[in-house]
Chains A and B, each alone.
Chain A
Amino acid sequence: MKKLFVLLFSSFILLGAMAQVDKGNLLIKNGTVITITKGNLEQTDVLIKDGKIAQIGKNITAPAGIKIVDASGHFVMPGIIDAHSHIALDGINEGTNPITPEVNESDVINPFQIGIYRALGGGITTVHAMHGSANAIGGQCETIKLRYGTFDPEVLKMDGAPRTIKFALGENPTRSHGEGSGIVPRTRMGVEFVIRQAFTEAKEYSEKWNQYNKAKLVKGFRGAPPTYSYRHEVLSDILNDKIIVHCHSYRADEIYMMLKVCKDFGIKRIVFQHVNEGFKVAPELAAQGAMASVFSDWWAYKFEVYYSTAYNAAILAKNGVVTSINSDDGEMMRHLYHEAGKTQKYGGLSDEEALALITINPAKQLGIENRVGSLEVGKEADIAIFKNHPLSIYGVPMFTIVDGVVRFDREKDPDDMRLVVDPKQAIETATFRDKLSDQDHCMEGAEFILDSELFNANKK
């Protein structure tokens, strides 16, 4: 009986670990290939074998029976990567405590959301599905690939991608907890304190376990182990460089504060998210090797983004900060190529610099730059094919390919791309996004603790 159980249990684990990911073979013919890292190649083919780029060159002979995508006159670029998104998730904020590293977005992935397909329609292939910004230390996030069509949440996960976690500074954690629940933090002072406190406790926790693990090796040891805490396990993993911190932030002062916290606790890998005032501390960010993932031009929807500039990405990039442009929004993520183009208007970035903001740079920020983010032999075949140049306003994604599988085909896909139809859903009900409060998707799921007049006004 026990054997049977073990057998069953291990086969479940095996099934889970071997989530069946489709990998395609494909030949993309005759496009202008924008490699990002190795220049542009005119009238060039890309051969994909078993989900990976096998060859890039002219006049590649098609292997027998391979599917061919004609990219004549089109632009072939790496699939776009959004380093800040909340799609494909059924829960965004565990807004009950300022410190919640114990929760994980990997538990709430929803492969049925139509938003996944819509993102493919914008040339997106990989997204960082993030926890929200209600908490100073929020939940762990999941890097997913848009393998739309699967019913299995496991299949969406980018197996082997580094672990990441969401932090948040400024107005969101202070209004969620200080204003909403009357507990620290209500100010940026409090935000710094709760983060330092959490890390200090985690260090003590690790120390206790280290002592215990050492002591129990001594013959005759009779002590009890310290109390296990998953929260402190995760915090320790951050301190031991096993998790990349992605920190929601806006103002220069709070960014600078967090840089000092990282220095003090030896945290090496941090990506600041939104970071609207990153341009003010660009030299400090560059000196510490911190990265920045920004909006192209969003501003003025709350006080901490009032002194923003659309030149933020250009200033950061020119100061040597690895910078990406993200969406944080199910609509904007459909045209990150256009948002990247805005850095040419605001700061005069070259085509290569602008496209790096949505390909290789976000890949670096997620620690997956060896696998995706550029078109190179051996990399995963995540590709977007555009009619007209992707930085042109007239650029239109025609095909989006993930692991060599065509997941979006503008000409051939039917209008209705839902995977399942909810029989209870009213056919006639349309949803119009609220223009006032939808700018901050980071707070989805945490409305209940807000006393924001806008949220209340909209609830009536």
Chain B
Amino acid sequence: MGLLTAIVCIVVLRVEAQSPKGKYGNVALTNATIETITKGTIQNGTLLIVDGKIAAVGGNVSIPSGTETIDCKGQFIYPGMIDAGTNLGLNEISSVARTTDFNEIGEVIPQMKALTAVNPNASAIPVTRVSGVTTALSIPTGGMLSGTAALINLHGYTPDQMFAGFEGIVLNFPNTGRRGFFDRRTDEEIKKASDKALASLNDVWEKATQYQKLDSATKGKAGYYPELQALIPVMRGEQTLLVEVNASKDIQAALKWLKEKKVKKSILTGVAEGWRVADEIAKSGIPVITGGVLELPTRDYDRYDKAYANPGLLKKAGVKVAIKSESNNNNYRNLPYHAGFAVAYGMNKEDALKAITIIPAELLGVANKLGSIEVGKSATLFICNGDPFETKTQISHVFIEGWSMPMVSRQTELYNEFLKREPGVKK
């Protein structure tokens, strides 16, 4: 008997030691303040999740009998936040090259697909999603045309299960800025490098244009040129070009270039000095994914808070603005704080909320599924006890495509183990 108990205990311990899994099922979230983003705020509302989608939302929703109910009294429901500037899944430890997959060799490699290398078990994924960031654009970097970025939901066991329906080609537009304290090139060297890069970009574009014509003429039998093939959807306006550009001069040059090349679908990303040329960006009609917001001014003589104010100034000028967090640091959980700082330094709060929900969803062509609380959309959302921008706000539940996420990450597990360590000093 004692032995049996021991075996049962071991089995139970084993089960407890496993990482908790996501849970799928129909759920009713009741008595909540629901921030729909697109259709105002619903007080004391109910949100019904059926088959992974939002089946009903409002003040008067009938709940099918037997549906699990979560009482959200005093709580708020928001759509999952979208960080349109990460390398989630591609980067485990940024300074250990063998653990990173975002930077392939080559200057012109648009055919390199982020989705291929997304590691569904990257440690940063649970860390990010328990903070309400449910969806992320995972971006390859380096070179000129770095690869194909992919939008992923932060739950799933294969890249395809995570794929959220958007891929875009990344272009690092020729840069006349300095890269940091160790970039000791002269101004002349910088100019030369950027001129050369632009010439080489134009060359690639010319080839891709010709190839695209050949491809049409030969009905897809123009030969195997993977980097040119990968650019065809952009040439034909079927895919978005994500143009990373930051210095004001470069932004102007990029706008001119995009117009000249008649690129139909494009988004400017980064855009650190956007405020300097905000009117020109607005006039172009090209939308922007800007960030990180928690940054230094780019020039010594600029006002100290320009990076914080940038999203608000762009919006004020009439630019369509999404906000992203910092790239490459695995702290995408701070996305709401980037938006929050934009608010503290001048952006309208509602606009900042949209800038991390519905606007990125629209820009990435997934607004039919993500970015707001609306009937028929994916049940990708979170429940919290206050303003999601506020630092101390706690998130109690996260749903991704109807899957209720375990609210744990390695960081919470370490907390639970070490808050009251046993044994203490004496064993």
Which residues of A are interface residues toward B (Cβ below 8 A)? 114, 117-118, 121, 279-280, 282-284, 287, 297-303, 306-311, 314-315, 318, 330-332, 334-335, 338, 341-342, 344-347, 388, 391-396, 415-418, 421, 425-426, 428-440, 444, 447, 452-455, 457-459
User: Distance (Å) between the CB of B270 and the closest chain A CB?
Assistant: 8
Given A434-B180, A436-B328; A453-B97 close (CB under 8 Å): yes
Q: Which residue of B lies closest to A448 (CB)?
A: B182
Judging by beta carbons under 8 Å apart, are B178 and A429 in contact? yes
Q: What separation, in Å, do the CA atoms of A432 and B297 have in the docked complex?
A: 9
Judging by beta carbons under 8 Å apart, are A458 and B298 in contact? no
With a cutoff of 8 Å between Cβ atoms, the chain B residues found around residue A341 in the complex are 391-392
A-facing residues in B234-254 (Cβ within 8 Å): 246-249
Judging by beta carbons under 8 Å apart, are B411 and A308 in contact? yes
Judging by beta carbons under 8 Å apart, are A432 and B272 in contact? yes
A-facing residues in B171-208 (Cβ within 8 Å): 175-183, 187, 190
Q: Which residue of B lies closest to A252 (CB)?
A: B418
Beyond contacts A331-B294, A458-B182: 12 other A-B pairs, Cβ-Cβ < 8 A, are: A287-B425, A298-B331, A300-B124, A392-B391, A393-B340, A394-B344, A428-B247, A431-B299, A433-B295, A434-B180, A436-B95, A457-B103
Q: Which residue of B lies closest to A422 (CB)?
A: B300
A-facing residues in B323-353 (Cβ within 8 Å): 326-331, 333-334, 336-337, 340-341, 343-345
Given A429-B178, A433-B180, A447-B182; A311-B327 close (CB under 8 Å): no
Given A298-B329, A300-B124, A430-B298; A280-B418 close (CB under 8 Å): yes
Interface class of chain B by DSSP: loop
Q: Which residue of A lies closest to B345 (CB)?
A: A396
Q: What separation, in Å, do the CA atoms of A458 and B182 have in the docked complex?
A: 8
Selected interface stretch from B17-25, B39-47, B219-227, B302-310: B302-310
**Interchain Cβ contacts within 8 Å, total number:** 202
Q: What separation, in Å, do the CA atoms of A452 and B100 have in the docked complex?
A: 14
Judging by beta carbons under 8 Å apart, are B303 and A415 in contact? yes
Q: What separation, in Å, do the CA atoms of A442 and B235 have in the docked complex?
A: 45
Query: Which of B299, B301, B330 contacts A300, CB < 8 Å?
Result: B330
Judging by beta carbons under 8 Å apart, are A311 and B298 in contact? no
A-facing residues in B87-104 (Cβ within 8 Å): 91-97, 103
Q: What separation, in Å, do the CA atoms of A378 and B331 have in the docked complex?
A: 41
Judging by beta carbons under 8 Å apart, are B414 and A307 in contact? yes
Q: What separation, in Å, do the CA atoms of A280 and B424 have in the docked complex?
A: 10
Judging by beta carbons under 8 Å apart, are A433 and B296 in contact? yes
Q: What separation, in Å, do the CA atoms of A342 and B294 have in the docked complex?
A: 15
Judging by beta carbons under 8 Å apart, are A300 and B344 in contact? no
Q: What separation, in Å, do the CA atoms of A318 and B415 have in the docked complex?
A: 12
Judging by beta carbons under 8 Å apart, are A309 and B94 in contact? no
With a cutoff of 8 Å between Cβ atoms, the chain A residues found around residue B175 in the complex are 432
Q: Which residue of A lies closest to B307 (CB)?
A: A331
With a cutoff of 8 Å between Cβ atoms, the chain B residues found around residue A396 in the complex are 344-345
Q: Which residue of A lies closest to B95 (CB)?
A: A302
Judging by beta carbons under 8 Å apart, are B248 and A430 in contact? yes
With a cutoff of 8 Å between Cβ atoms, the chain A residues found around residue B249 in the complex are 428
Q: What separation, in Å, do the CA atoms of A391 and B295 have in the docked complex?
A: 19
Judging by beta carbons under 8 Å apart, are A346 and B415 in contact? yes
Judging by beta carbons under 8 Å apart, are A458 and B183 in contact? yes
Judging by beta carbons under 8 Å apart, are B93 and A431 in contact? no
Check B390 for interface membership: any CB of A closer than 8 A: yes
Query: Which of A309, A338, A388 contacts B410, CB < 8 Å?
Result: A309
